[in-house]
Amino acid sequence: MSLCKRCFTESIEEKTRATIAKYRMFRFDDTIAVAVSGGKDSVSLLQVLAKIELRHPKARLVAVTVDEGIRGYRDEALKIAAENCEKLSVEHRVVSFKELFGYTFDQMVKRMKGKDSVKLTPCAYCGVLRRKALNTAARKIGADKLATAHTLDDEVQTILLNILHGDVLRIAKEKPVTDEVHPKFVPRIKPFCEIPEKETALYAYVKGIRFQSTPCPYASEALRNDARAMLNMMEEKHPGIKFTIFKSIEKIRPAIEETAKKEGLRECIECGEPTTEKICRTCQLRKLLK
Ligand code: SF4
Ligand code: ZN
């Protein structure tokens, strides 16, 4: 059954509301930081959350964009993110790698390239630093939650990648709502975790929302690309299979959590930020950059 444009956008908003209620993602008076990169998923999430916020006058929404310092890429995304926030009257904060870590991402990549000991792809260390930047920004805002635009596709790809990397216990951590508790850690929620990427993209098109479509010049996650292609091929042949995988993991996650050694968050001995290790991964990366 095909839906008209209005019914389609309302169905996405309704599904998001249902996901938020099912996983008890928000309280009515929460301050919610939303990670907005300027890509289609994050601008769609901002639009949906801004609409939901209208029904909750005590809630507060603040968009956060991480400026990694990637020339010819992030500059455009920053403008798009700012434009979307202005249209929706949502407060917008920008946090930069240069200001937090002392280097732009372009400079980091150059420095890392010269080191034989570094086997990480740019996305691997960018991901660590982005998470840290978002947590720091959300904490400064006084946010109760940090919402990210991970879709059903992202979630299922991550499940498969954890299996392919032999890191199956990590599945216990990748939940729709994080349950790690630490005064310096802002809990993360994923309101789009049950919505396919195709639908969030269509939502942006139908709503006429401007988003960035230029790919990041450092995007290089070869294994994730293979996982995405394989899952898309399976979904094409067996519609609904991504959702089935997601639901199956939801069912067995409590058992995985039992097996996984629960690592509580503590403070990094160097920077004091929350981490499961003695020295957080950001500080480990900082050392490599020197
Ligand atoms: Fe960072 Fe990779 Fe995303 Fe580029 S694609 S912004 S390097 S995580
Ligand atoms: Zn640290």
pLDDT digits (tens, 9 = 90+) for 85-108: 999 999 999 999 999 999 999 999
Q: pLDDT (tens digit, 9 = 90+) per residue, 154-175?
A: 999 999 999 998 888 888 888 9
- Which pLDDT tens digit goes with each residue over 68-84? 999 989 999 999 999 99
- DSSP result, the chain: ----HHHHHHHHHHHHHHHHHHTT---TT-EEEEE--SSHHHHHHHHHHHHHHHT-TT-EEEEEEEE---TTTHHHHHHHHHHHHHHHT-EEEEEEHHHHHSS-HHHHHHHHHT-TT----HHHHHHHHHHHHHHHHHHHHT-SEEE----HHHHHHHHHHHHHTT-GGGGGT--SB-----TT-PPEE-TTTTS-HHHHHHHHHHHT-----SPPTT---HHHHHHHHHHHHHHHHSTTHHHHHHHHHHHHHHHHHHHS-----EE-TTT--EESSSS-HHHHHHHHH-
Q: How far apart are the C-alpha atoms of 26 and 277, rounded to whole Å?
A: 29
User: Is a pLDDT exceeding 60 seen at residue 2?
Assistant: yes
Tell me the per-residue pLDDT of 192-235, one tens digit each, with 9 for 90 and over. 999 999 999 999 999 999 999 888 999 877 788 899 999 999 99
Residue 270 has pLDDT above 80, yes or no: yes
Q: Does the structure show a pLDDT above 80 at 41?
A: yes
pLDDT band at residue 57 under the 50/70/90 scheme: confident
Look over the chain and give the mean of its residue pLDDT values, rounded to a whole number.
Answer: 91
Please indicate whether residue 23, judged by its CB atom, sits closer than 6 Å to ligand 1: no
pLDDT at 47 > cutoff 80: yes
Where does the pLDDT of residue 144 fall: very low under 50, low under 70, confident under 90, or very high at 90 and above? very high
Ligand 2 center to 178 CA (angstroms)? 20
Looking at residue 133, what is its pLDDT?
Answer: 97
Using the predicted structure, report yes or no on whether residue 14 has a pLDDT greater than 80.
yes
**CB 186 within 8 Å of CB 73:** no
Question: What is the CATH topology of the domain spanning 3-249?
Answer: Rossmann fold (3.40.50)
The token duo for 270 is: 């160097």
Pick the most confident of 19-33, 108-122, 164-178: 19-33
Report domain extents, the chain: 3-249
Mean pLDDT in residue range 251-263: 81
- 42 CA distance to ligand 1 middle (Å): 14
- Which atom of ligand 1 approaches the CA of 127 most closely? 8
216 lines ligand 1 (CB under 6 A): yes
**Residue 116 — pLDDT band, cuts 50, 70, 90?**
low
Identity of the amino acid at 185 = F
109 lines ligand 1 (CB under 6 A): no
Which pair of tokens denotes residue 121? 């792809």
| Separation between Cα atoms, residue 68 and residue 79, nearest integer Å | 14
Is the C-beta atom of 196 inside 6 A of ligand 1? no
Residue in 37, 42, 68, 109 to alter for ligand 1 test, most ligand atoms within 8 A of Cβ? 68
Instruction: Report how far Cα 101 is from the mean position of its chain's Cα atoms.
Output: 20
Name residues with Cβ closer than 5 Å to ligand 2, which is an ion: 268, 270-271, 280, 283
